[in-house]
Structure 1
Amino acid sequence: MSDASRSGVTPRRPPPMAPMGKARYRVMMTLVALGLALLAGRIVDLHVFDRSFLQGQGDARTLRTDTIPAHRGMITDRHGEPLAISTPVVTLWANPQDLPEDDIQRLMLANALGQELDALNERIARYAEREFMYLQRRMTPEAAQQVLDLRIPGVHAREEYKRYYPAGEVTAQLLGVTNIDDQGQEGLELAYQPYLAGVPGKRRVLKDRRGRLVRDLAMLQEAQPGGDLTLALDQRLQYMAYRELKAAVTENDADGGIVVMLDARSGEVLAMANQPSYNPNNRAGLDPQGLRNRAIVDVYEPGSVMKPLAMAAMLETGDLPLDTVVDTSPGWMVIDRFTIKDIRNYGKLTLAGILEKSSNIGMSKLALRLDDPVVPAKYRALGLGQSPGTGFPGESTGSIPAPVRWSSSQWAALSYGYGLSVSALQLASAYTAIANEGRRLPPSLLKLGQSPAGEQVIDPDVARRILGMMDQVVEPGTGARRALVPGYRVAGKTGTVRKTDAGGYQEKAYRGLFVGIAPVSNPRIVTVVMIDHPRGDSYYGGAVAAPVFSRVAGNALRLLDVPPDARDPES
């Protein structure tokens, strides 16, 4: 007998379930069943009717479209020698959120990158909230592979290209440079950026959630390499011109200098050297002064090198007999209260004598005889005051004053090279008319398939006479004698001009110039040399620029295999 029976207490039975409790139970079970049905329906909908949604979400997390860099086109000289090439490099980048916190791995990474650990940690902390940071750009493939071999999580590689310039500072201003993304920033690299750059390709790849490549899936678009650019430049002549120019600038303690050499038969630029320069392969400590292509961008008053061109304009009028003699005594004259001087009193001079002695008085008196402004008109016909049309970024047009209320002094100044501004390239192009019996050839930085017809801007007979006069200028005993080239006849003209600044002409600051054509019997090259502000023993063009021409032209004529045409000394 149980204790409850013995005590006389009857145990209580559980009360029956209330009717409302059963209803709640059924409702809850119904809701659960309905939820399961909706969930099953959604699963069926996603997998059967809306499968693309799930596929797209998965692809977004694993499929990527990678860019394939295009190989930048090569720049070569006229003989196919490389002047600018692109070499493959590797850029390392990282997802800072995936990089290990372990100090040992961080130290290994810093050492492999050649960086300080503290500096690397500071950069990682700075990019901690981002998913991308550069570790090091444009490494050699070998150096990059050493880093990748560490297999540090979060470190990735990207293939790129780096521009390399075999000639270094010798061709720096003409070629220009590219930036770290291999896009042209200066010079021809900038001018022909769309042509040289090419079109990047695209590929579909499978990557894991950390961005690591799992598999190449498909090539969407092949990379199209950039086009190659063939310059008119002859690398042999360029090296030689740059070497001689640099030596002359150093010898004369000058601010800089320019050498431009054109093919007299085509107008192609065979050499274009500038000082100062820079190394485009290592731009650390770059002097911005070295970036400018002074031969095309800078303009200046040319001075006496304009006298042959001005005399050609005067002879074409027919009002100036070839046997004209000008009395330049006493070696100075006043026009409109301005005093014009020669170095000394040359007395009576023929037309050839005026060019040989570089007489400002002689040119001024000839110019004032004429009623029409034929000299500035001829300058314009020779391409001065206009764009050379090379397409080089920043090429200068120079300037020629408009013929509005000209004074006699301005008219005279133009005849001896003052009152206008030109670039070295414009000046060389203008002289192709003297070398080609009056046909001016437009300058070309690119190699031409055939020589252009040119434009007849000077009467052929006049051009030949001016060439003959310039031949007499470069003779033993003349001021231009240092331009003589052994074995060859040279036609040339010296020039010395005062430099200007915002306050007018500078005291004791000059530019020395020489323009030469060689050989006279069958012109092959036209060369302009300018030495900027020489501080040595002399600053005259015949002393500082003519010797550079002699060495540059002599070497060039021999390299181009031009037959000598020097007169027989016994004839």
Structure 2
Amino acid sequence: MSTEVRSGVSPRRPSPGAPMGRLRYGVILGLVLVGLGLLVGRVVVLHVLDRPFLQGQGDARTLRTDSLPAHRGMIADRHGEPLAISTPVVTLWANPQDVPEDPIQRVQLATALGVDLEALNERLARYSEREFMYLRRQMTPEAAQRVLDLRVPGVYRQDEYKRYYPAGEVAAQLLGVTNVDDMGQEGLELAYQPYLAGTPGLRRVLKDRRGRLVRDLEVLREAKPGGELTLAIDQRLQYMAYRELKAAVAEHDADGGVVVMLDARTGEVLAMANQPSYNPNNRAGLDPQGLRNRAIVDPYEPGSVVKPLAMAAMIEHGGIDPDRVVDTAPGWMVIDGFTIKDILNYRDLDLAGILRKSSNVGMSRLALSLDEPVIPQLYRRLGFGQPPGTGFPGEAAGEVPAPVRWSSSQWAALSYGYGLSVTPLQLASAFTAIANEGRLLQPSLLRLNEPVAGEQVISSAVARRVLEMMDKVVEPDTGARRAEVPGYRVAGKTGTVRKTGAGGYQENAYRGFFVGIAPVSDPRIVTVVMIDHPRGDAYYGGAVAAPVFSRVAGSALRLLDVPPDRRDLVKVE
């Protein structure tokens, strides 16, 4: 054993200046410098070479493009009165993962939202794995702010618009409705959805990882409001038509009804009322039957109201002498095993008398004397059997049977309004040809800014002759006497039709019609009234539909400032 060990003295360590110390120091320093170089290089790579990629990844996690809702265009009547407008509302949503479980806050939140606490807790639990759920849609800004003032974590707002209909049920079927996302679902709201909806805008925002808005950055595209739609409807006339129709349906315990009023000079739809109806501002308990715009989408057998049109066809195209007299005795006739009846045995009737007495026998004998199907041909020229072209969703074409192997009974039935189907709008449109010197006007739901020429479908002389015949139908001793309008001459025609069912025509189930033109001296309006299945003894068109026409037409003529043309019917107060 060496002397150093024995004496207990430790061996000498090499000094830093020794070769081994310098080597160790150099290695450590080199490692530090390499690490520092790698770190600096990585920083350079991240901030220079990879900067676009990393910035894009960061933006993808924080920058969002949100939609800016576009204000839906207003629907107005012909005078600019609003029929459908959009109002700002607030939708509240929540991130269920951020909503605290504190019972006091939950109670406050449920109370402010106006919902049941148990139901709220159940929904929050059901969406607990998600980051989004609606709390309540389309609240008023004031009500929503009361909720937001609670400052419950995880509760946020979203600005939207809600459609409001000032006229309520009065024009519901014509206007239609929008859904909760302000998209058109029925009626004109659906037909003009792209035009009314406008174009949503875009904005760039900064959000945190939970999707919460941190800051608005910029607007990428401004929202473009929807266009405004101006209807031909006159809101004043619409209110009156609806009021009178609703009262008549209730009075006769009917299934429903329709009133359509057209401008006799332009074809514009001044009023279109339906029963049953609904309140588009509150759809709780909505009856689906109330959604149907029966005036446009439901065709019916018209019955005797089309006799003036058939008469015009027979005079103009069938060569029937306007002064011809027809023997209708004994008040009935049998064709192909079917019995055609009049109410009474009217014996000899001229053409005006046939319309005045509404003689089915007289119309049938005239029709069977023709060699050509002039009646259905004119029906088609008047628009029957084809959509009226209003653009309304689901508008019906109706039906005029093709002249293939017709029997004599079918030939006759077309002359008194059976065997075909038309909508009330088609019927009103057809009578613009009688009111307008033989020129047919296409119906328009939108206000027209230019005069319309119309299509000449019958001669002006025949149109005037038929109008005069219809004038004699509405007199004190006729079944249409209840259609008289004080101060005005009225041309009209009643109709009463049996309803059809699974087994054919039903017993004791009718539709009552009236079509009227006023005033006769210078026609301004054409109006069709239909009462569906009136119950009780009064079911004829002259008893249930004619009085509605009288009240609606009288109010309309006064509002339109049409001068009276019949002094003997002016009421003296």
What TM-score, normalized to structure 1? 0.94
CA offset at residue 26 of structure 1?
A: 10
Question: Does the CA-based 8 Å contact 1:46-1:53 persist in structure 2?
Answer: no
CA offset at residue 62 of structure 1?
A: 2.8
In the other structure, the counterpart of 1:236 is: 236
Q: Deviations over 1:344-403 (max 9, x none)?
A: 211111100100110000000000000000000000010111110000000000000001
In 2, distance between residues paired with 1:23 and 1:358? Answer: 127
State the one-letter code of the partner of 1:496.
T
**Equivalent position SS for 2:232:** coil
2:376 counterpart of 1:376: yes
CA gap of 1:537–1:57, structure 2 versus 1, over 3 A, is same
State the one-letter code of the partner of 2:314.
M
In 1, distance between residues paired with 2:480 and 2:219? Answer: 66
In 1, distance between residues paired with 2:257 and 2:23? Answer: 104
**Equivalent position SS for 1:295:** helix
In 1, distance between residues paired with 2:414 and 2:24? Answer: 111
In the other structure, the counterpart of 1:134 is: 134
State the one-letter code of the partner of 1:435.
A
CA offset at residue 319 of structure 1?
A: 2.5
Question: Does the CA-based 8 Å contact 2:485-2:569 persist in structure 1?
Answer: no
In the other structure, the counterpart of 1:563 is: 563
In the other structure, the counterpart of 1:273 is: 273
**Equivalent position SS for 2:431:** helix
In 2, distance between residues paired with 1:183 and 1:379? Answer: 38
What TM-score, normalized to structure 2? 0.94
In the other structure, the counterpart of 2:494 is: 494
Q: Which moved more, 1:501-510 or 1:431-440?
A: 501-510
Q: Deviations over 1:495-548 (max 9, x none)?
A: 000001232111110000000000000000000000000002211000000000
| Alignment of structure 1 residues 472-491 onto 2, 5 Å | 472-491=472-491
In 1, distance between residues paired with 2:364 and 2:133? Answer: 68
CA offset at residue 129 of structure 1?
A: 1.1
In 1, distance between residues paired with 2:434 and 2:391? Answer: 25
In 2, distance between residues paired with 1:248 and 1:25? Answer: 110
CA gap of 1:54–1:514, structure 2 versus 1, over 3 A, is same
Question: Does the CA-based 8 Å contact 2:74-2:229 persist in structure 1?
Answer: yes
In the other structure, the counterpart of 1:200 is: 200
Q: Deviations over 1:146-204 (max 9, x none)?
A: 11111111111010000000000000000000000000000000000000000011111
In the other structure, the counterpart of 1:466 is: 466
- Provide the alpha-carbon RMSD of the alignment: 2.3
In 2, distance between residues paired with 1:378 and 1:396? Answer: 19
CA gap of 1:23–1:363, structure 2 versus 1, over 3 A, is farther
2:172 counterpart of 1:169: no
CA gap of 1:24–1:123, structure 2 versus 1, over 3 A, is farther
In the other structure, the counterpart of 1:342 is: 342
In the other structure, the counterpart of 1:89 is: 89
Question: Does the CA-based 8 Å contact 1:332-1:341 persist in structure 2?
Answer: yes
In the other structure, the counterpart of 1:524 is: 524
**Equivalent position SS for 1:494:** strand
How high is the sequence identity, in percent, across the aligned residues?
79
State the one-letter code of the partner of 1:119.
A
Which consecutive unaligned segments of at least 5 residues does structure 1 have? Answer: 17-21
CA gap of 1:397–1:14, structure 2 versus 1, over 3 A, is farther
| Alignment of structure 1 residues 9-158 onto 2, 5 Å | 37-158=37-158
In 2, distance between residues paired with 1:536 and 1:29? Answer: 112
Question: Does the CA-based 8 Å contact 1:303-1:418 persist in structure 2?
Answer: yes
In 2, distance between residues paired with 1:422 and 1:279? Answer: 28
In 1, distance between residues paired with 2:500 and 2:25? Answer: 104
CA offset at residue 38 of structure 1?
A: 3.6
CA offset at residue 451 of structure 1?
A: 2.5
Question: Does the CA-based 8 Å contact 1:488-1:565 persist in structure 2?
Answer: yes
In 2, distance between residues paired with 1:311 and 1:36? Answer: 106
In 1, distance between residues paired with 2:466 and 2:31? Answer: 110
In the other structure, the counterpart of 2:548 is: 548
In 1, distance between residues paired with 2:518 and 2:262? Answer: 11
In 1, distance between residues paired with 2:28 and 2:272? Answer: 92
In the other structure, the counterpart of 1:448 is: 448
In 1, distance between residues paired with 2:128 and 2:33? Answer: 47
CA offset at residue 52 of structure 1?
A: 1.8
CA offset at residue 214 of structure 1?
A: 3.1
Q: Deviations over 1:255-277 (max 9, x none)?
A: 00000000000000000000000
CA offset at residue 412 of structure 1?
A: 0.2
Question: Does the CA-based 8 Å contact 2:486-2:569 persist in structure 1?
Answer: no
Which consecutive unaligned segments of at least 5 residues does structure 2 have? Answer: 15-21
In the other structure, the counterpart of 1:256 is: 256
Q: Which moved more, 1:553-562 or 1:337-346?
A: 337-346
In 2, distance between residues paired with 1:249 and 1:352? Answer: 31
In the other structure, the counterpart of 2:19 is: none
In 1, distance between residues paired with 2:109 and 2:99? Answer: 10
CA gap of 1:483–1:401, structure 2 versus 1, over 3 A, is same
Question: Does the CA-based 8 Å contact 1:196-1:226 persist in structure 2?
Answer: yes
In 1, distance between residues paired with 2:485 and 2:130? Answer: 67
In 2, distance between residues paired with 1:374 and 1:233? Answer: 35
Question: Does the CA-based 8 Å contact 1:154-1:210 persist in structure 2?
Answer: no
In the other structure, the counterpart of 1:19 is: none
Question: Does the CA-based 8 Å contact 1:251-1:536 persist in structure 2?
Answer: no
Question: Does the CA-based 8 Å contact 1:249-1:534 persist in structure 2?
Answer: yes
In the other structure, the counterpart of 1:386 is: 386
In 2, distance between residues paired with 1:167 and 1:88? Answer: 19
In 1, distance between residues paired with 2:319 and 2:71? Answer: 61
In the other structure, the counterpart of 1:286 is: 286
CA offset at residue 35 of structure 1?
A: 5.7
State the one-letter code of the partner of 1:341.
K
Q: Which moved more, 1:39-48 or 1:296-305?
A: 39-48
2:211 counterpart of 1:211: yes
CA offset at residue 217 of structure 1?
A: 1.6
CA offset at residue 28 of structure 1?
A: 9.9
In the other structure, the counterpart of 2:18 is: none
Question: Does the CA-based 8 Å contact 1:258-1:531 persist in structure 2?
Answer: yes
CA gap of 1:27–1:388, structure 2 versus 1, over 3 A, is farther
2:408 counterpart of 1:405: no
